[in-house]
């Protein structure tokens, strides 16, 4: 029995899709400790129930996604499932009310921690529902609960079709909204590598966020001028074409010399712009532009090769806007092939990425297990 098995279906019919996945898992005689599910929006509830029923002793955790992609291929329809059969120890939990008071459920994190035999070579994989503007609150909760453990957090905001502002996560057989599901994974057979990939590079244009509403993720002014107006002038485009241009030109938060990408969500008539992650008052910002994606992929592969001895499987969290960028350039298949070089993998494509208590956009976060 392989340590890790991945299955994929492109069917949108629940019964047919599940049968295809179960046939693939049965062919490999899986006995999972952990099952990770990614599905289109209307399918997660069905897979969560069926897989938990079929594997009652496994931890089953899932997220909806913009696209299913894995070492078995990719499809906007259907589902992917990763079954990890050996070499790990796991403990899972859930945080509710993520858009308002996730800190009230800090005890759920502590309870899961108490089930682990050690914190060494352990990560926290989490999936949080999108559109509630709660990711930063969730990460603050994890940071408080995990203080002193050395456990790093990596995960993503659940995905959905780009015109469908609703997403779900699952734990066990149950489906959740406005929640974060998480699982601690202790790797018994080596270390866990954490990698962050940007395919955007800075331009020469720098700004300061001078008027913001942090909770609403709203930037009213850059450099004391309406945000949309100054960005349209910088990009030399009319205001009514600005949003399309911001897809190619996200903003980079400059923190201690590092760049954390923030994507625009909506533009408003008063010139303010809402984002998918927070920008704080007086934050230094850089306007970004696409880099050479194939060179960046190669650099990531080299970093993985340099830091990891023998990769067994990996988990990719890739922003839906990166997915759309790769699709527009007809290279998403190449991206999937690159990820195959790290062993069996499963991916989630959603509305945000989280790493080390920082919420990001238009980024890939990659977990690699020896």
* pLDDT at residue 249, as a whole number: 95
- Can you tell me the mean pLDDT for 67-90? 98
pLDDT digit string, tens, across residues 144-178: 999 999 999 999 999 999 888 899 999 999 999 99
Of 123-127, 174-178, 257-261, which gets the smallest average pLDDT? Answer: 257-261
CATH (one of 1.10.1660, 3.30.70, 3.10.50, 2.40.30) for 200-290: 2.40.30
Q: Per-residue confidence at 102, pLDDT binned at 50, 70, 90?
A: very high
pLDDT digit string, tens, across residues 6-24: 999 999 999 999 999 999 9
* pLDDT at residue 208, as a whole number: 97
Query: How many angstroms separate the CA atoms of 239 and 232, rounded?
Result: 6
Q: Per-residue confidence at 214, pLDDT binned at 50, 70, 90?
A: very high
* pLDDT at residue 164, as a whole number: 85
Domain boundaries, the chain: 4-196+295-369, 200-290
3-state secondary structure string, the chain? CCCEEEEEECCCCHHHHHHHHHHHHHHCCCCCCEEEEEECCCCHHHHHHHHHHHCCCCEEEEEECCCEEECCEEECCCEEEEEECCCEEEEEEEEECCCCCHHHHHHHHHHHHCCCCCCCCEEEEEEECCCCCCHHHHHHHHHHHCCCCCCEEEEEECCCCCCCCCCCEEECCEEECCEEEEEEEEECCCCEEEEEECCEEEEEEEEEEEEEECCCCEEEEECCEEHHHHHHHHHCCCHHHHHHHHHHCCEEEEECCEEEEECEEEECCCCCEEECCCCCCCCEEEEEEECCHHHHHHHHHHHHHHHCCCCCEEEEEECHHHHHHHHHCCCHHHHHHHHHCCCEEEEECCCEEEECCEEECCCEEEEEEC
pLDDT digit string, tens, across residues 20-36: 999 999 999 999 999 99
Tell me the two tokens of residue 252: 């980079």
Angstrom distances, CA of residue 42 to CA of 160, 224, 245: 10, 44, 31
Q: Per-residue confidence at 254, pLDDT binned at 50, 70, 90?
A: confident
Angstrom distances, CA of residue 288 to CA of 231, 285, 332: 12, 9, 21
* pLDDT at residue 163, as a whole number: 81
* pLDDT at residue 74, as a whole number: 98
* pLDDT at residue 256, as a whole number: 84
* pLDDT at residue 1, as a whole number: 81
Say whether pLDDT at 255 is over 90. no
* pLDDT at residue 202, as a whole number: 96
């Amino acid at each position: 029995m392989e340590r890790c098995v991945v299955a994929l279906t492109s069917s949108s019919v629940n019964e047919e899709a599940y049968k295809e996945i179960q046939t693939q898992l049965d062919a490999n005689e899986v006995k999972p400790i952990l099952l990770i599910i990614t599905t289109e929006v209307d399918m997660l509830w069905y897979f969560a129930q069926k897989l938990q029923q079929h594997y009652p002793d496994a931890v089953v955790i899932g997220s909806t996604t913009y696209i299913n992609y894995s070492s078995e291929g990719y499809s906007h329809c259907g589902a992917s499932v990763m079954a990890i059969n050996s070499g790990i120890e796991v403990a899972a939990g859930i945080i509710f009310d993520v858009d308002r008071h996730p800190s009230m459920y800090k005890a759920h994190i502590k309870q899961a921690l108490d089930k682990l035999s050690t914190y060494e070579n352990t990560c926290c994989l989490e999936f949080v529902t999108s559109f509630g503007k709660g990711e930063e609150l969730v990460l603050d909760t994890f940071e408080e609960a995990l203080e002193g453990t050395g456990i790093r957090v990596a995960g993503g905001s659940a995905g959905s079709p780009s015109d469908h502002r609703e997403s779900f996560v699952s734990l066990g057989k149950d489906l959740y909204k406005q929640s974060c599901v998480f699982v601690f994974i202790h790797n018994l057979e080596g270390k866990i590598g954490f990698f962050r990939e940007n395919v955007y590079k800075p331009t020469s244009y720098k700004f300061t966020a001078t008027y913001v509403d942090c909770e609403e993720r709203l930037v009213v002014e850059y450099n004391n001028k309406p945000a949309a107006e100054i960005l349209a002038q910088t990009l030399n485009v009319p205001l009514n074409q600005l949003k399309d241009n911001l897809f190619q030109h996200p903003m980079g938060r400059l923190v201690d010399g590092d760049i954390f990408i923030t994507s625009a969500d909506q533009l408003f008539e008063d010139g303010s712009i809402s984002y998918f992650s927070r920008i704080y008052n007086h934050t230094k910002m850089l306007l970004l532009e696409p880099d050479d994606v194939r060179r960046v992929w190669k650099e990531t592969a080299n970093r993985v090769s340099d830091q990891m001895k023998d990769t067994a499987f990996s988990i990719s969290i890739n922003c839906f806007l990166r997915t759309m960028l790769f699709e527009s350039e007809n290279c998403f298949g190449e991206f999937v092939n690159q990820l195959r070089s790290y062993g069996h993998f499963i991916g989630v494509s959603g509305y945000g990425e989280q790493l080390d208590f920082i919420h990001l956009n238009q980024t890939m976060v990659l977990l690699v297990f020896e």
